[in-house]
Amino acid sequence: MQLKRLFLIVLLFLFTQTLLAQTASLFGKVKEKESDNSLCGASVYIEGSTQGCASNSNGDYQIKNLKIGEYTLLVSFSGFKTASKTISLKEGENRINFELEESQSELGEVVITGTGTHYKIGDVPVQTEIITKKDIEEINGRNLEEIISNISSSFDYTSSSMGTNIKINGLGKDYVLILLNGKRLTGGVGGYTDLSRIDFDNIKQVEIIKGASSTLYGSDAIAGVINIITKKSKQKFEVNSNTRVGAHGELKQFNSLSFRKNKFQSKTTYSYKQTDGWQLNGMEYNSKWDSNHDLPYLVPTYDKPVNKSRAYTITQNLEYDVNRKLNLNVDLSWYEKTLYFPFKGRMHNYYYNNRSVDL
């Protein structure tokens, strides 16, 4: 009787080991196609079952205790096309890697302006207008101000040597707040903002809030807010250089260097702008003529609506993704501008510099 019981125990043990030996595990990595960037949080699951997992911060995934056989494995990630593979699992470990291709379909627009966090445009608590990269390319304006004014009827501007006086619904520079990636754009001279140092090719989208937003941003946002969102590089290493040349010695030069590795990324930019200025007319109205008509009605002038200037900006951005919910970001900026007034018009030039650090 004891021998029979022992035989049954041995038989059950061998059967259990056989079942365990026939299980398989699945692991691999999920990353962007034609790039070394890993995708954190991608959904990896077996079609028609509840077995699956999400990739970790390094893009790695693992599914254990699977039966040997054929399956259809699906991988999905927001902003990318869903990938599928028919696999035949063998006993032990099976490695299957995925490279996801970025989706070209239109997703619901996401905005940051007005809340400081990402929202779908339909859920934003304040009215927000979006100017996309496609809009910028179709208009192909000479500057950012011209592009915005062509799209938004409530937007207007006047340019000078000091920068741009931006208006929304008739209210000027003192009531319009300019943001760059959700942070106040530094480098305003006398209340004017030099938007020309932001390169077109580096802009992802422009968000415009029309109407008072002083509750969120302060008294300088009574007319509205303009938030310029720049692009982030998705490549491991990327170098860009753009040059624009115009009349009157106008030159705009923009260079960027981007580096990305796992959770860390860096972007360095250098932009340079110069112009020799121009004069509309060498004569101006003589204010003394009203009291003495014997004086000439017009007198020579050396003043210019746009004076000779040189300006450059250096920025450095460092980011580290601690996890899916926490990101550390450091922004450094160095901006200098010099206005060269005609010597016979003024006895001095105008110099401005601004240095900022954001964490």
- Mean pLDDT for 98-125 is 61
Judged against a pLDDT cut of 90, whether residue 268 lies above it is answered with: yes
Judged against a pLDDT cut of 60, whether residue 112 lies above it is answered with: no
Contact, 255 vs 32, CB < 8 A?
no
Q: Which residues contact 261 (CB under 8 A, 6 or more apart)?
A: 236
Q: How many CB atoms lie within 10 A of CB 41?
A: 13
* Mean pLDDT for the chain overall: 79
- What one-character-per-residue DSSP string does 92-138 give? EEEE--EEEPBP-SPPPPEE-TTTSS-EEGGG-SS-EEEEEHHHHHH
Q: What is the pLDDT at residue 7?
A: 60
- Mean pLDDT for 296-324 is 87
Of the given ranges (79-88, 173-182, 276-285), which has the lowest mean pLDDT?
Answer: 173-182
Q: What is the pLDDT at residue 224?
A: 81
Say what percent of the chain tops pLDDT 70: 81
- Mean pLDDT for 44-56 is 85
- Mean pLDDT for 208-214 is 69
Q: What is the pLDDT at residue 270?
A: 92
Q: What is the pLDDT at residue 61?
A: 92
Q: What is the pLDDT at residue 119?
A: 55
Q: How confident is the model at residue 341 (pLDDT cuts 50, 70, 90)?
A: confident
User: In whole angstroms, what is the distance from residue 94 CA to residue 173 CA?
Assistant: 62
Contact, 308 vs 302, CB < 8 A?
no
Is the domain spanning 23-99 CATH 2.60.40.1120? The answer is yes
From the list 307, 310, 238, the residue with the least C-alpha distance to 272 is 310
- What one-character-per-residue DSSP string does 212-269 give? --HHHH-GGGSSEEEEEEEP---SSEEEEEEEEE-STT-EEEEEEEEEEETTEEEEEE
Is the domain spanning 108-231 CATH 2.170.130.10? The answer is yes
Q: What is the pLDDT at residue 170?
A: 75
150-165: per-residue pLDDT in tens? 777 777 777 766 677 7
What secondary structure letter does DSSP report for 286?
A: -
Judged against a pLDDT cut of 70, whether residue 149 lies above it is answered with: yes
Contact, 157 vs 169, CB < 8 A?
no
Q: In the numeric block, which tokens belong to residue 154?
A: 């409530």
Q: How many CB atoms lie within 10 A of CB 230?
A: 18
- Mean pLDDT for 71-96 is 86
Which helix or strand (DSSP H or E) is residue 17 part of? helix 2-21
Question: Is there a common fold for 23-99 and 108-231?
Answer: no
- Mean pLDDT for 172-183 is 79
Residue ranges of domains in the chain: 23-99, 108-231, 233-359
- Mean pLDDT for 24-51 is 84
Judged against a pLDDT cut of 60, whether residue 29 lies above it is answered with: yes
Q: How many CB atoms lie within 10 A of CB 160?
A: 14
- For the chain, the first-to-last Cα distance in angstroms comes to 78
DSSP SS3 for 197: helix
- Mean pLDDT for 210-214 is 65
User: In whole angstroms, what is the distance from residue 176 CA to residue 225 CA?
Assistant: 6
